[in-house]
Structures are given as C-alpha cells and as structure tokens.
Structure 1
C-alpha cells in the first residue's frame, strides 16, 4: 500500500514526532545522499515561492533531482473528472499523467488551490485526491485545502522555541484582514496541528460566517480531546489575545460567500481592525507571532510586529526546507519497504 503525505492526520503521533525529530537532525546536517538517484515531480497549478524553492533545494541537498511543472502553462492542461468527455481545454486526463509521472519519478508533489466558486466542490480536494488515486508512487500535498508541510514547519518552530512538550501553551489562531478572500488551507492546518500537539487553542474570527469548515472544527475538537489540550472559538479580539503564548495569523474567505464574493466585500471592508498590531500583542504572555508568508505588511500585520524579536515567521519559512526533506526521506523509506 502506498503511503502518501496528504494531511498530517494520516500520520500516527509517533510518526509525526519521528518526522519532526528527523527534520531537526537534518537542520544540523543538511547535506546527504539519502535520496541519491531519486526524482520528484513538483506540479504547481498555483504560484509558489517558498514551496518551490525549498523543495527544489531540499531534493538537491539529499542527492535527488526535482522537475517543476505548471500544467496549463508549460505542460498540457489536465482533466480531473472521471468519465469526462474531454471536448474542452484539457489535453490529457490525470489517470495518464499520474501513471506516466510514476514511471519517471519516485515522488509527486501537487499544489492546487480551491477555485473559490463553490466550497462544496472545493472541499472534495479533487485534484490532490485524483493524483493519489492514480499515482503509483507517494504523493505530497504542496497546499490544496490544507497545507501539511506548513504545519510541520510551524510545529518544528514551536518546538525550537518552547521545547518538545507544547501541552498547556495558549495558542491563538486569528483571522486577519486582507483585501481579497483567501484560501482556508493554512488556517485548517494550523488548527489541526496545534490541537494535535496538546495546546489550548483559541480560534478568533470576526463572526460565525468566518468559521472554518465543520470538518476541521471537528478535527480540532477530536485532537484536543486526544491530546489533553482544549479548543474554543471566540469573536472577541481582547479575549482571544489575552495571555496567548503563540499568535498565528491568517486571512481567509467566508465559506458561505464562495462564488458570491461581492456579498462578502462590504462585511470584509469593516474588519480592518483585525490587523495584528503591537497593542494586541501586548495583551499576550510575551507571545510569539508567526505567519505562513507571504504577508502584506500593514494589512495583515504591522511593521512593528513583523520586525519584532517575537516574530518567528522567517524561522518557520526556513523550517519548510528541513521538514520537507524529512517527509521525502520517510516516504521513500516506506515505499522501499512496501516494495521489498
């Protein structure tokens, strides 16, 4: 059976800890030949800076070769619906694409954001799931409706700052303003990993329209029960920030307005006060601040927050490199064991 890396929930807690431990080791000894002769195909249906760079460099540092493709731009457009009559723009079906890449490559990475027209459709994560279905090698989620590589980098960063045991730390996941509705992936992932690690997690969002999908709310509750942490929701800014050890910020679109963003716009325009600023950070317990990046300064967070010593966003971005190397190594080890 092929082990993919689609979500961190697919890993046992022991496997999760092992990947983070290996990432910490690779951070100290970055060069090796663990993946010598291996190849990873990286398919980007959406733009990337950190993900593409860190995967290409990480593969090289371990002796592998990365091939980057942008379907519909420098590669043929792909159809994902089963039984489709392909009389549109797509030139080939994912069934063939995934199988051919499986013959060429040892790993396949996929980044494919939601279409932002219908959340009921987007939440099915059809592009990623189709590659996982048809691939004969492990598939890595490079961000779709979750961002598990970012989760691991975030977790490694918190471990570095607080130690391995994060239980009891007060963690705030806060919505922050942005002029455009954005993907919920990082927020879904932050909620998933923070509750998995036993922290006392608060989700702060402006109103119930900005709640995350019930799937991830339920995962948060389940993880908190299993890990001994807690999870709650608040719409009160001061209540959310007060006493927090970690503030993690992300903007996302209100799910009820997917496909009808003109209806969300007036509500969003009234929410600029959700910016992360020094006044809000002063309410925390000398808390750390982080963000997945990219971040619009003085829109999502002020210059004062981004330039403060408590901002660890760049540390987290660096850790993408190390955790992804650990993921690639682990997937190859699992695949080699399955084929033995």
Structure 2
C-alpha cells in the first residue's frame, strides 16, 4: 500500500545534537517525523545534508545490514564514514569505571570517545551483550559509557538491550504495508534457536509497537518472558497511545487473527550466564518454528524478521520465501530510516 505524505517534512531543530539510544527517549511525534522523512527519502530522494561531515562507526561485533546500510546512508547524504572494528585495527576498549587496566584492554572509552568527538560529527556504536550478567548488561554499559564521555551524538547500532534503528525500520515497513499503524494486531513470537541470543530486537520492537498504539501480543514460553521493567515501560506506552499488550504462552492462540507475526529468538533471563542449563530448557521448544500451519491461524498475516535468520529452524522456507514475507523490505528500510536519523540529528 502506498503511503502518502501530506506535507514535506523538514528536520526539527529540537532533534539536532541529540543522541539516538532508544526510541523510548523520543516522543511518538518525533519518531513519526523521522519516519516521514525516511519515506520521503525512499520515494523522492534527498540532498546532501552531511556534506563535509564525518561519522565514526565503532563495531565491537559483526554486522552485515547495519554496517552496509550505515556506510551507504552516510555516503549518499554526502558524508564520510570512518569504520572502526574494536580489537581489529583499533585498540581493545575498557568501559568499567575505576578499574585497574592491567588486563587485555588497551584504552578506556573515556579517552576514545573524547578523542573521536574532536574528529567526527557523531559516533555510532554496536556492542552486543557478553551474556554473563543480566543485571549489569541491562544497563547497556558500553553504549552508556560512550554517551557519557562523548561530546557529539551517539547512535545505537545495536546494544545489549536495544536496537532502535531496526525498530524504526520495522514500523516503517508496517506503515508502508497497512497505511496506518494504530491498532495493528502484531505478534512478537519467540522462536527456537540453537544458541541464546540477545534481547535487543524484541525489546525494541515491543517498545516501539506500544509507542505507536499497536495491539501487541508477545508469544513465548514461560521461561522466556521479557524483562519486567521493560514490560512496565511497554505497557505504559501502550496505555498512553491507545494500544494493548498481552503475553501468551500458547503461540497458536496468540497468532489467531494476527496481521503480522514478527519472529525472533532470545535467551532466558532466568538462566542468564548459565547457558548450559538453559539449553535443556530451550530444547523443549524446538517446535516453536513459524511454519505454514501457524501462518494459517492469522488473518492473512505477514511475516517479519530482522535477519539474519536460520532457515527451517526459526522459520520454514515456505513462509520466508512467500509473498507474505516482508523481511527484504524491512532490511531495505534500514537504509532509509538511518538516512533520516542522521539528517535530523546532525
């Protein structure tokens, strides 16, 4: 479905100079303006608002879509990307405060962030959790350390707890598909995976779905419910924006009548750091795969996933390759929302 723009959006001065760490730090109106600009960029093109500006992209972890789309977004907007792989071409970084640095980490984020701030207009940071301590990693220590010590905007390229750029691309895709996002019946469905994965994507999708007033159902085994503090925030946003949030442990019941199934695997916070124990629990749910039978329970629903995805583990070939699969559109939209975020913050 084509999305019309009734007015030509322009970057809001109030967004200039801000960091983009989670969507929860922005209002729905601000997020909507970012999406308006992203859709304009996708359909009408854009100028070169980053001309003469450099942006550092600091990667602690691997990436395909985020790395490629950010480099291309910066280039197309007239800027220059400086890509830094931690421990591979740059020093390993310490983030803990007051630590005696006599181990294998060569430089502290305090100096790295301050120095980069003298060179670039913004710093993008990608840092997955170590999956050892939930209480520590739920604080997003690496991302927040960059935010504390940098004097330029920090852009979250996926952290221990959040992936806001992916969430924006998800909502853009839903908006393109349906026109309106309010009251959309979406299911965030846990799926089996042989390894425990971070919670950043499900956290961010649940949050932004609530911010945009969707009717969100989270389908997961009892051991895999999301962080209660995060869910409290999600429910508050849903109430404020006219949406609804449910958590169900029966995935077929959850998917009945859904318009979208968003599949994603994540590790259990109850076994965080004790993954050998968690593996026995995880194996009980090998049948949590999105297949044609599950899709038939929906209201001609669409399938979404952030990628990368394991075929015939998380989702069957038949569903992933079907005309109801939106995964490639989601991935493309990463490019456009990132161009919009860069333009509005810088």
Short-chain TM bin: over 0.9
Aligned to 1:337: none
Aligned to 2:255: 241
- Aligned pairs for 1:283-294 (under 5 A) are 283-294=297-308
Aligned to 2:232: 218
Aligned to 1:155: 171
1:54 to 56, 64, 69: 69
1:271 to 276, 282, 285: 285
Aligned to 1:336: none
CA distance in 1, matches of 2:254, 2:27: 30
Tell whether the 8 Å contact from 1:172 to 1:244 is kept in structure 2 after alignment. Answer: yes
Tell whether the 8 Å contact from 1:198 to 1:224 is kept in structure 2 after alignment. Answer: yes
User: What is the DSSP-based 3-state SS (H/G/I as helix, E as strand, rest coil) of the residue aligned with 2:89?
Assistant: coil
| Shift, 1:174, TM fit | 0.4
Instruction: Report the CA distance shift for 1:62/1:2 in structure 2 as closer, same or farther (over 3 A).
Output: closer
Which stretches of structure 1, 4 residues or more, deviate above 6 A after TM superposition?
none
Confirm whether residue 143 of structure 1 aligns to residue 158 of structure 2.
yes
User: What is the DSSP-based 3-state SS (H/G/I as helix, E as strand, rest coil) of the residue aligned with 1:231?
Assistant: strand
| Shift, 1:266, TM fit | 1.1
Tell whether the 8 Å contact from 1:30 to 1:61 is kept in structure 2 after alignment. Answer: no
1:5 to 16, 20, 28: 20
| Shift, 1:242, TM fit | 0.1
CA distance in 1, matches of 2:183, 2:339: 29
| Shift, 1:267, TM fit | 1.3
Structure 1: unaligned runs, 5 residues or longer: 333-340
1:308 to 315, 319, 322: 322
| Shift, 1:91, TM fit | 1.2
CA distance in 1, matches of 2:198, 2:21: 17
2:143 to 128, 137, 147: 128
Aligned to 2:6: none
User: What is the DSSP-based 3-state SS (H/G/I as helix, E as strand, rest coil) of the residue aligned with 1:274?
Assistant: coil
Tell whether the 8 Å contact from 1:2 to 1:136 is kept in structure 2 after alignment. Answer: no
CA distance in 2, matches of 1:29, 1:134: 37
| Shift, 1:215, TM fit | 2.0
TM-superposition CA deviations, 1:57-97 (whole Å, max 9, x none): 00000000001111112100111111221111111111110
CA distance in 2, matches of 1:166, 1:319: 16
CA distance in 2, matches of 1:172, 1:153: 17
Confirm whether residue 325 of structure 1 aligns to residue 339 of structure 2.
yes
- Aligned pairs for 1:54-93 (under 5 A) are 54-93=69-108
CA distance in 2, matches of 1:329, 1:31: 10
CA distance in 2, matches of 1:168, 1:322: 24
TM-superposition CA deviations, 1:198-251 (whole Å, max 9, x none): 1111000011x2011112211210111001110010001211110001110100
Aligned to 2:310: 296
CA distance in 1, matches of 2:51, 2:18: 20
| Shift, 1:30, TM fit | 3.6
| Shift, 1:31, TM fit | 4.7
TM-superposition CA deviations, 1:169-196 (whole Å, max 9, x none): 2110000010000001000011011111
